[in-house]
Structure formats: structure tokens, C-alpha cells
Structure 1
Amino acid sequence: MAQALCVVVRYRKAVTYGVHALLAALETAGVEHELRLGTTPEESAGHIAATGADRVLTLWSFYSPDAEAMAAELAAVRSLSGGRGLHIAGGVHATAEPQQVIDAGWDLAGIGEGESTIISLVRALQRDEPLTSVPGLAVKDADGVALRTRPAPQLPLDAFPSFAGRNGPIEITRGCRYTCRFCQTPFMFGGQFRHRSVASVRAHVREMAGRGMRDVRFITPTSLSYGSPGPDPDLDAVEELLAGVEEELPPHGRIFFGSFPSEVRPEHVTVEAMRLLKRYVANDNLIIGAQSGSDRVLAASGRGHDTSPVRDAVRIAAEHGFRPNVDFIFGMPGESQEDQEQSLRLAADLADLGARIHTHTFMPLPGTPWRDAEPAFIPLSTMSELDRLAQRGDAYGHWRKQAEHAARLAETAKAYPRRTRRRRAT
């Protein structure tokens, strides 16, 4: 006889998109379960303690900079709920650092894409089956070692919806062929693009419109790569997508494409592409990833372009009525003061062309080739220039807070060498 199961979600704004995808997978798979959302640690603990279900599974998802804070929350939730239930951490950090997650107090770590795993995990708990049979997990053994089960399959994006019964950005592309050394995306989801079909996107838009939603946004690592398997944009595919979405929108509906939560690569910003976007989109800004003003640093990071298309991208976007928001990362491994000065000069030039500079500090993120890399020193002169750009209204960002995160991540990486106690469950 199946056991009644309650799924409690530690529901945080920072990770709602991924959580909605998991809940949609459970819903579309027809897996019966009680669902409760905890917006605070206290509320989450209350849900765990109050449910009458036989078993409780609590879902946590977080990015690497939040891992330490979430571990403290987990301890609080366990204490307040009397230690009841299983707790699983998922997302990019758990995928990259399952042993660290297990040592921090979680019972399980979800590795890779979560839709297939959550369905199999809930069913296994309901049937009292061994968790080592569930794909895409790290399970703690008697010695505290994170044992990996077999990998979860990477299915076509159409296999699961982005959300069900809710509204939010539609994930149109997963994975990224641009394997930048500082980015977790291609190393969690794979180095190839998987695109959601236009038919699936239109179905999402119809569902959203039926609930009164008028604005549509998208999740994608690189917007103008939609429909393309390789480095060159397929603008016919992009237009098919945007035209299809437009047909499904209600009166006064709006399309946001190439703005948050997605971006555009600089070499994809062409006159033809901008003319296409102007026909369909409502956003007046584009997020463009430059990342550095140094060709040497861009090459070392595996970015796949030099600085030459960045100025062109900003100029072309501005000429077509878009405000470019351009990402820069300071302190990348091996970056010299001369490299930083080149970035500052390029940033100032782009600001003069009408761009806003979105400033970041390099963080050695788990799961990336630069996980163990030493962040470059950022001198006071660079900090002062970033502050000056911000005071002029030409720059924004949380680079100081990211520098604090970077220091903590570097210390944690030293405590967990890449091959720490890695074993496969049988």
C-alpha cells in the first residue's frame, strides 16, 4: 500500500523558476502528494510538523553563494520540526558539491536536472523502495559518504512544462555550447543547446493568457541562439517563436526577449537581429555579456569572442532604441591590473555610447573549470573607478557582496578537493 507523502518546499524568491518546473513535473506525471510551501524557515518547519502524511520530503534549492546561509536554515528547520522527514538539496550547487551538501546536513543531494529525479524519488518514498534505485541522487551511506546513483536522463525540453497552474518565464533553451570557464550552466545542463518547440511555448502562453497574464518572458542562456544548434543565430527560428507567441497573446499583451532573465551575446547583435526584435518585443533594454575588456582574459575564460563585437553590439542596439546593459566581471583568474584598466576603458566608452555597465566580481563557482582558481586582486584604483561609474549612473551591481562570496567559496573549495570521497551507489 502506498504511503501518503507530503512535499514541503522551502520556497524562496531566488529559486522559484526551478521549483515551479519540479512541481509541474510532479503534477503532469500524476504523482499524488500533499504540497505545502514554506516562505520562511519557521513556516517550513510548521508544515513539516503539522502534516498528517506518513512521510515528509522537504525540497531545498540554492545557488553556491547561498549554501552557507541555507545550511544554517536547515539546522533551524530540523530543530523546530523535531527532526522529522527527509531533506534534499538540488540545483547547481548540490550538483557540483554533493559531498559538501551531505556534510552540511542534507539527507540527499539532487544531481543534474531534477524533473525525472523528483518523480522517481516521490514514487520510491511512497512505495518504500530503496533510494539507491532513484536516478540523479547522492545518498548518504553509513560513513557519511555521498554515494551517487545512476545519472538522470537529459530529456527533450518538451518532456516537461516550465510550470503548471502558475505564471512565470518560459524556459526555451537549456544547456549552452559556450563553455565559459566561470559559468555553471553548461557544466550542469550540458554543452549543447536543447530548445523547447514553438508549439510547446505557444501552449504555455495560452495557459498564461487564460489566467489573465499579459507579459511573456523567457529563460535562456543566450536569447538569439533559439532554434540553432551551433554558434550562429537562426533568425528565422527566432521569428517563428516570437510570431507564434504574439498570436497567442491577449490584447495589449507584451513580449520581453533578451532582457532579464536572459541575455544576448555581443556577436549576435546585428542590424538584422535588432530589426527583428523591434517588430515584436516590448523591452527597451538588452542584456549583453561582454565580461571583460581584455582580449587575453576573454580567451583564457573560453568566452568565444574578443572585444571587437562588444562596441558594435552596443552601438547597434542603441541605434535601434535599446538601452544596452553590459555585463563585466572583474577579478577573473590571471587578470592583471592592465587587463582591469582595459575593462574600465571599454566600460567608460560603452557608457558614452549609452550603455549601463552591470559590474560583477569573479566567483570560483563549484562545477566550473575555475572552481579552484584564485580570484585576481582588485586594487583600490579599480574599485574607485567602479564607484565613479556608479555615481554617474552608468554602472550598477553587487560586486562588493560578490567579492565576499568569492572569498568564502575559495575557502570551501580548499576543504573539498575535487575528488573527495566520490563513490557510485550499486
Structure 2
Amino acid sequence: MRIKVISPDIVTYGAMVIGGVLREQGHDVSISHFIENTTAEILLLSLYSTQHLFDDRIKKVIESHKKRGGRCYVGGPVSSHPAMVLGELSPDAVVIGEGEVTTPRLVRDGPSPEMQGIAYMEEGRMVTTGPSSPAPMERPLPLIPSDIGKQNIRGANVYIETHRGCIGGCGFCQVPRYFGQEIRSRSIEAILIEVQAFRDAGANRVSISGGTGSLYASEQGKMNVPAFVDLLSGIAGIMGRKNLSSPDIRVDCITDEVLDAIRDYTIGWVFFGIESGSEAILRKMRKGADVDQVRDAVRRCRDHGLKVAGSFIVGYPGESQDDYQKTKDLIEELSLDDVFVSAAEPIPKTPLADLVLSTPQHENPVYMPHTGEYKALGLSVAEARAFDLMLHADLNKPVLSMADDRTFDLYLAEVRKQGSDIRRATECLLRYGK
């Protein structure tokens, strides 16, 4: 059977994995990031962002494909709220959760109430069969697009999955809700074979993912540091240390050995999800780490010769001006090498989404008009704080980065887009509920 897999704008690793599973079962499978019509019998859309639900290009491709008699299925992180997907895009079915087992069955048999892990419409009502069972961690090689070397995701061509699950429970994050909090790891041998395949296909830099890289091969929340070191060493032996990154790590999941391995076998960057300088907001976020742990983690990274980046979230429901000021103060104190700022986005089926749904619009920072120094720009409180924090972070990097007109305009456009996207997602949540 001919199958086209589309992962809009970026071919995600998950889309490649599903493509590889289908290819092994004998299907004629192609994969692309272009949103385009296909003559294949089945169209699979792997959607990783709520914003994909509002993309007219995607809606038109689905409509056109179904008119020609083709079947269309949607999977990926958006599947956590199947009612939204079915209501906005009208595919034939949604694969809920991990799709390695469910998708081949759906392709072969079509949707039915006996099939676990799907949702579909029947006689005007939604039928759901519950989430799929956790997928096996060993699987065929992914279906790698021919232009993988041109893809850029935070500097890497691809984020290779080493494990699934996260011990954390951050209220804004979908990972522990999608994959669970138990760590399920792949074998080092399988990972290295895959890395070689990506290199042979033209990948120039890979990064490892899985939520927190250092949790690879951990059991019952206890890190397996030797396995993590072997993992980085093995990948670096194939790609070269300058072509490997392992950035995403929790501040409470580092050891001296972990930091030495990152220094010795990767480009030497660590990326912490710091999120806020306010202890009250960190508790509201369910972050599971406090500001002193952040300070200690950044100091230890620098003692090991590593560069440190951090992400921050502003405009969380309930965030006061005092909470925001504490975040500004922490950024000034830490003087991070790079900073990423975003307004709080309610990803479906997360505690943040529930909080947003229960917060009156006039109390939600993404709707509240900003009345301070950026009033003339017409920003919301969340947008103004994101904009202000981006400028503030640049002024407090180790190497001073002065904002010029171009930077000012780029940051302004970015926060306006964030605000617009978040309001659209919030209104969609309100339409479909929890």
C-alpha cells in the first residue's frame, strides 16, 4: 500500500519512526515536511503543535485527499486531545498516544471500536478506544528523508530518541502525560546503528532527546551514569564531538561525571528549563526544583567548562509583577550564555491547560492589556513580559549583546506571534473543553 507521511515544516523523529515501522511491514512509504497533495492511498499527518490544527494548508490537503477517496489519519502530540483534532481537521481517525503498534493496524483495517488507541467520528459522535499501550523501544530503522542534512532544529538535523518518559511532572509539559514517568530506554547498540544511518543519509549534527538526556537507562528514578557516558562516547565516535549535542537536562539530574561527559563528548552546552525566578511560580508550575538548585547547577556547569542556556516561561496564570521581577533578577545574576523566552502556552491535557480553562479571561496575562512602559506597542501583559525579558537577557549575557532596531523588531514580532498563537489555542480549548 502507498502511504505518504507528512510532518509539517520539520520532519520530526517520531514521524520518521512511524515511517520506518510501516516500511518494514512492506508498504511503499514516503516522507516529507512539505504540506502537499498526494496520490498515495493513505495520508498520515504527524502533528507536533496545536497550531497545526488551525493551518489552512493542512485542512485543504486533508479535504482534497478524502474527496479523492483516500484515507487520512493524524497522530503525534496533538492526539492528546482527539476531539480538537477531529473537530478542526476532520481526518478519518486520530492515533492516540504512541503509534508504533496502532498505526500499522489502522492502515490495514481502518478504524473500529475494537482497535485500541484511536478516536474517530461515527454517526455524529466521537468514538474513543483509549490510549495505545506503550510501544516497544526496539524497532526498525526510521525512514530518513533524503534532505535530512538541510533540516535545522536548534542547530541539529535531528533529535534522536534514546528513551521515553520523564520523572518530572511539570504542569506545562506534555512529555510525562504522553510517555509516562517511567523511563523506558533503548539499547546503546540500536541507537548507534541508527546514528550511523543518519550520518550515512547526510546528517551533520545530531542531538539526543528524551526529555532529560542524563536519565538514559535509569531505573526507578536513579540515574545510570556509566550508561549515559557510554552513550555519548559511542555517538561521538560516529559523528565527532563537535557534531553531537545533549542539551536538555533537569537541574536535579546532573553529576560531575555527567557534566564531564557532556564536556568531553559533545559541543559543550547544557540547556536547563529554569522557567522562573519565583519560588511561588515554580510551585504552581510543578517544576520540582527550586531557585537554589538552579544556581548550583549553573555554577557546577561552569566549573566543568560548559556553556549554559536556559528557558523561561512568563505570563503563567497567577504570575504577579513581583514574580516576574524575580525572574529578571535571576537572569541578571546567572548571566547565562543563551536564553529562550516564551509566554505560557496551554498544551492540551496538561495541568496548565486546566489552569487556563479555570482562569477568567480578565485575569489571564495573555489577555490582560499591558499598561506599563510598552503600552504604546499594544501588547498583553504576557507579551510585554516576554519582550522585556528577551531584551534584558541580551544585556546580561557574558558577551554583551546590544539590541538594535532589527533585534527590537524581531523580538516584538516573536512575542506578538506567541500571544496570537496562545490566544487561538486557548479559545480552541474553551470550545472543546478538557
| TM bucket normalised to smaller | 0.7 to 0.9
The verdict on how the C-alpha distance between 1:296 and 1:158 changes in structure 2, with shifts beyond 3 A counting, is: same
TM-score, normalization by structure 1:
0.82
Provide the C-alpha distance between the structure 1 equivalents of 2:386 and 2:421, rounded to a whole number of angstroms: 17
2:270 aligned with 1:293:
no
The residue correspondences of 1:171-182 to structure 2 (distance < 5 A) are 171-182=161-172
Q: Secondary structure at the match of 2:288?
A: coil
Provide the C-alpha distance between the structure 1 equivalents of 2:61 and 2:207, rounded to a whole number of angstroms: 36
| Structure 1 equivalent of residue 112 of structure 2 | 131
Q: Please list every run of 5 or more consecutive structure 1 residues that lacks an aligned counterpart in the other structure.
A: 419-426
The residue correspondences of 1:11-26 to structure 2 (distance < 5 A) are 11-26=7-22
Provide the C-alpha distance between the structure 2 equivalents of 1:212 and 1:15, rounded to a whole number of angstroms: 15
Q: Please list every run of 5 or more consecutive structure 2 residues that lacks an aligned counterpart in the other structure.
A: 149-157, 357-363, 374-384, 402-406
Residue 115 of structure 1 deviates from its aligned partner by 0.9
Q: Secondary structure at the match of 1:407?
A: helix
Provide the C-alpha distance between the structure 2 equivalents of 1:78 and 1:22, rounded to a whole number of angstroms: 23
| Structure 2 equivalent of residue 415 of structure 1 | 431
Provide the C-alpha distance between the structure 2 equivalents of 1:402 and 1:165, rounded to a whole number of angstroms: 29
Residue 27 of structure 1 deviates from its aligned partner by 2.1
Provide the C-alpha distance between the structure 1 equivalents of 2:387 and 2:83, rounded to a whole number of angstroms: 39
Provide the C-alpha distance between the structure 1 equivalents of 2:311 and 2:394, rounded to a whole number of angstroms: 17
2:369 aligned with 1:365:
no
Q: Secondary structure at the match of 2:178?
A: helix
| Structure 1 equivalent of residue 213 of structure 2 | 223
Provide the C-alpha distance between the structure 2 equivalents of 1:202 and 1:60, rounded to a whole number of angstroms: 28
1:190-237 Cα deviation digits (max 9, x unpaired):
121111111211222343455565644212200111111244433122
| Structure 2 equivalent of residue 141 of structure 1 | 122
The verdict on how the C-alpha distance between 1:96 and 1:154 changes in structure 2, with shifts beyond 3 A counting, is: same
1:290-346 Cα deviation digits (max 9, x unpaired):
111111111121111101121222222233332211011001122111111111110
2:117 aligned with 1:117:
no
The verdict on how the C-alpha distance between 1:15 and 1:303 changes in structure 2, with shifts beyond 3 A counting, is: farther
2:322 aligned with 1:338:
yes
8 Å contact kept, 1:270–1:313: no
Provide the C-alpha distance between the structure 1 equivalents of 2:274 and 2:177, rounded to a whole number of angstroms: 20
8 Å contact kept, 2:92–2:120: yes
8 Å contact kept, 2:281–2:319: yes
The verdict on how the C-alpha distance between 1:400 and 1:225 changes in structure 2, with shifts beyond 3 A counting, is: farther
Provide the C-alpha distance between the structure 2 equivalents of 1:388 and 1:62, rounded to a whole number of angstroms: 32
Residue 402 of structure 1 deviates from its aligned partner by 2.2
The verdict on how the C-alpha distance between 1:297 and 1:240 changes in structure 2, with shifts beyond 3 A counting, is: same
| Structure 2 equivalent of residue 319 of structure 1 | 303
Provide the C-alpha distance between the structure 2 equivalents of 1:228 and 1:74, rounded to a whole number of angstroms: 41
8 Å contact kept, 1:134–1:149: yes
The verdict on how the C-alpha distance between 1:376 and 1:234 changes in structure 2, with shifts beyond 3 A counting, is: farther
Provide the C-alpha distance between the structure 1 equivalents of 2:20 and 2:205, rounded to a whole number of angstroms: 20
2:71 aligned with 1:75:
no
| Structure 1 equivalent of residue 27 of structure 2 | 33
Alignment-mate amino acid for residue 185 of structure 1: V
| Structure 2 equivalent of residue 422 of structure 1 | none
| Structure 1 equivalent of residue 395 of structure 2 | 392
The verdict on how the C-alpha distance between 1:255 and 1:139 changes in structure 2, with shifts beyond 3 A counting, is: same
Percent of aligned positions that are identical: 26
Alignment-mate amino acid for residue 315 of structure 2: G
The verdict on how the C-alpha distance between 1:211 and 1:169 changes in structure 2, with shifts beyond 3 A counting, is: same
Alignment-mate amino acid for residue 197 of structure 1: S
- For these two proteins, the number of residue pairs brought into alignment is 389
The verdict on how the C-alpha distance between 1:78 and 1:196 changes in structure 2, with shifts beyond 3 A counting, is: same
Q: Which has the higher contact order (CA 8 A, sep 6+)?
A: 1
TM-score, normalization by structure 2:
0.80
Task: Specify which of 179, 191, 197 is matched with residue 189 of structure 1.
Answer: 179
Provide the C-alpha distance between the structure 1 equivalents of 2:145 and 2:391, rounded to a whole number of angstroms: 45
2:91 aligned with 1:106:
yes
Provide the C-alpha distance between the structure 1 equivalents of 2:97 and 2:203, rounded to a whole number of angstroms: 31
8 Å contact kept, 1:6–1:34: yes
Q: Secondary structure at the match of 2:263?
A: helix
The verdict on how the C-alpha distance between 1:37 and 1:211 changes in structure 2, with shifts beyond 3 A counting, is: closer
2:246 aligned with 1:258:
yes
8 Å contact kept, 2:342–2:386: no
